[in-house]
């Protein structure tokens, strides 16, 4: 019993922070709505066109603003109050989701409308994603950052489990329009939870630079930080070729297994379940190790490759549990490491580059994976992602060997450049 009590206190430590607790519940509801909309959107495109290439093109348009506008979004996040930015992004997103719901409900939807909505959601994400990432740091401080990031990742992937199941039920019963309506409602609920946060309890670091001197200053800063640069390169490769599950999995279900929207939702849910387990495991750890990032990346790539070779939908779903576990273990470590390794006045720009690496890279990856899935096979598209993740992990391992040491970075220790030694900043 003592072990379970200690494990629970350590795993859910950041939930003792009042502001993060309200944020945690609010964003959780919003993420469920987001995944319901993601499933509905992908299935709607396939129903309208039957084309994996067009599905990949829509996802590319969805994430193109994150690639081209990520640097600008980071400067905005570093300059303005993050909670105010989140107020704006939630309200605009709610209006867009409600509009989509009405168009689908009245059978007035067309492919170009889906493309336009994807673009608008992408523009919102340019500010919303880095604002959410850095706002976690303001709510919990440095000591609880890894725990909060890991719990947030677990929650996002619990939503990946629940959201697709709800979407599959709604699509099969009352229709796709209600998935978009549920997402609109979830944004409003998150907005309400944001109003409950207390400004005086936020960890806003004082005396940091607020001047945004150049939009490319974030690139120059990252180039001077080997740890951050290596992680971002790895995530760019994985983001481009591996994290295209919204393209590869619908094609695998629709074309290879001749399944339904419920089967697609089952794969996402299986991956989400594994991710929740991975997030909770990561939340229970109090230190960050560079070699841990490499190991999880390698196992992630291997599991994706195995999933591509599974002969049945049921076996694929089982392997996707491991895909989710290794994926979230890798990203939670990488996310916390680059936030702790960044100076406060550059954190928004660094996290924008993180967002560009994972999501903005879809601009190039989604059409590639969609084309491979349509003209070769969905299995080949998924396997390509697995091989890319393995290659990225091996690249990171080589970088580590070049510096000859692997370092452990406690989550409670400040590692600003002016406070750290030269050796401590190496990967």
The pLDDT of residue 49: 83
Residue owning tokens 């076996």: 315
| Amino acid 33: pLDDT | 93
What is the rounded CA–CA span in Å between residue 417 and residue 413?
Answer: 12
Domain ranges of the chain: 13-198+215-425
Q: What residues contact 195, with CB distance under 8 A and at least 6 apart?
A: none
The average confidence (pLDDT) of the chain is: 81
Structure tokens at 149: 């990031």
The more confidently predicted of residues 37 and 358 is 37
- State the CB neighbour count (10 A cutoff) for residue 107: 8
Query: Nearest 5°: phi and psi at 289?
Result: -120, 130
Q: How many CB atoms lie within 10 A of CB 201?
A: 12
9 against 23, higher pLDDT: 23
Q: Would you state the pLDDT for residue 424?
A: 38
For 274-306, give one letter per residue: b (16+ CB within 10 A) or e. Answer: bbbbbbbbbbbbeebebebbbbbbbbbbbbbbb
Report the distance separating Cα 163 and Cα 267, nearest Å.
Answer: 12
Residues 362-376: tens digit of each pLDDT: 778 888 888 898 888
Write the DSSP symbol of residue 256: I
Q: What is the pLDDT of residues 268-326, one digit of tens each?
A: 888 888 888 887 787 766 666 777 888 999 999 999 999 999 999 999 999 999 999 99
pLDDT by residue (tens digit) across 159-197? 877 887 788 889 888 889 999 999 999 999 999 999 999
Residue 12 backbone phi and psi in degrees, to 5: -110, 30
pLDDT at 1: 56
Distance CA 281, CA 395 (A): 25
- Please, what is the end-to-end C-alpha distance for the chain in angstroms? 38
How far apart (Å, rounded) are the C-alpha atoms in residues 164 and 170? 10
Q: Which of 45-49, 63-67, 84-88, 409-413 has the lowest mean pLDDT?
A: 409-413
Residue 212: DSSP 8-state: -
Question: CA 286 to CA 266: how far, in whole Å?
Answer: 33
Q: Please give the Cα distance from 71 to 91 (Å, whole number).
A: 23
Per-residue confidence band for 405, with pLDDT thresholds at 50, 70 and 90: very low
Scan for tokens 């719901």, then name that residue: 101
Q: What is the mean pLDDT of residues 220-242?
A: 88
pLDDT (0 to 100) of residue 318: 94
Where do we find the tokens 């220790």?
413
The better pLDDT of the pair 188, 328 is held by 188
Please report which residue ranges of 50-81 form alpha helices under DSSP H.
Answer: 52-68, 70-79
The reported pLDDT for the residue numbered 414 is 35
Distance CA 199, CA 22 (A): 13
Per the CB < 8 A criterion, the answer to whether 39 and 180 are in contact is no
Closest listed residue to residue 78, CA positions, set 334, 340, 332, 350: 350
Tokens in use for 386?
């697995």
Q: What are phi and psi of 287, to 5 degrees?
A: -125, 165
pLDDT of residue 427 exceeding 60, the answer is no
Q: How far apart are CA 19 and CA 135, in angstroms?
A: 11
Name 398's Cβ contacts closer than 8 Å, sequence gap at least 6. Answer: none
Q: Which two tokens stand for residue 364?
A: 């190039």
Specify whether domain 13-198+215-425 bears CATH 1.20.1250.20.
yes
Model confidence over 81-112: pLDDT tens digits? 889 999 999 999 999 999 999 999 998 988 89
């Amino acid at each position: 019993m003592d072990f379970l009590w200690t494990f629970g206190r350590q795993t859910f430590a950041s939930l003792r922070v009042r502001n993060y607790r309200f944020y945690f519940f609010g964003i959780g509801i919003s993420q469920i709505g987001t995944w319901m909309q993601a499933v509905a959107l992908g299935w709607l495109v396939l129903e309208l066109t039957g084309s994996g290439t067009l599905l990949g093109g829509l996802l590319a348009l969805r994430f193109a603003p994150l690639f081209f506008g990520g640097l600008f979004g980071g400067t905005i996040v570093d300059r303005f109050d993050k909670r105010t930015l989140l107020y704006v992004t939630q309200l605009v997103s709610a209006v867009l989701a409600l509009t989509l719901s009405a168009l689908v409900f009245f059978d007035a939807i067309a492919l170009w409308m889906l493309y336009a909505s994807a673009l608008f959601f992408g523009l919102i994400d340019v500010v919303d994603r880095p604002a959410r990432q850095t706002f976690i740091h303001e709510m919990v401080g440095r000591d609880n950052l890894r725990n909060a990031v890991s719990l947030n990742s677990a929650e996002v992937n619990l939503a990946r489990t629940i959201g697709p199941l709800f979407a599959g039920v709604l699509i099969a019963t009352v229709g796709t329009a209600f998935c978009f309506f549920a997402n609109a409602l979830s944004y409003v609920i998150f907005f309400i939870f944001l109003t409950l946060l207390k400004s005086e309890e936020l960890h806003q670091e004082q005396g940091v630079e607020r001047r945004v001197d150049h939009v490319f200053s974030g690139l120059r800063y990252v180039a001077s930080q080997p740890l951050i640069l290596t992680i971002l390169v790895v995530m760019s490769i994985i983001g481009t070729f591996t994290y295209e599950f919204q393209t590869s999995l619908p094609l695998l279900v629709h074309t290879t297994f001749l399944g339904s929207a419920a089967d697609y939702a089952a794969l996402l849910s299986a991956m989400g379940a594994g991710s929740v387990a991975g997030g909770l495991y990561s939340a229970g750890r109090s230190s960050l190790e560079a070699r841990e990032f490499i190991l999880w990346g390698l196992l992630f790539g291997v599991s994706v490759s195995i999933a591509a070779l599974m002969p049945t939908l049921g076996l694929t779903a089982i392997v996707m549990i491991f895909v989710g576990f290794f994926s979230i273990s890798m990203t939670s470590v990488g996310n916390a490491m680059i936030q702790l390794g960044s100076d406060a006045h550059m954190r928004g720009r660094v996290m924008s580059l993180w967002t560009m690496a994972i999501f903005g890279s879809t601009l190039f990856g989604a059409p590639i994976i969609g084309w491979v899935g349509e003209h070769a096979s969905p299995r080949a598209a998924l396997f390509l992602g697995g091989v890319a993740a393995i290659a990225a992990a091996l690249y990171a391992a080589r970088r580590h060997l070049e510096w000859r040491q692997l370092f452990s970075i406690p989550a409670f220790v400040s590692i600003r450049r002016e406070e750290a030694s030269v050796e401590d900043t190496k990967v």
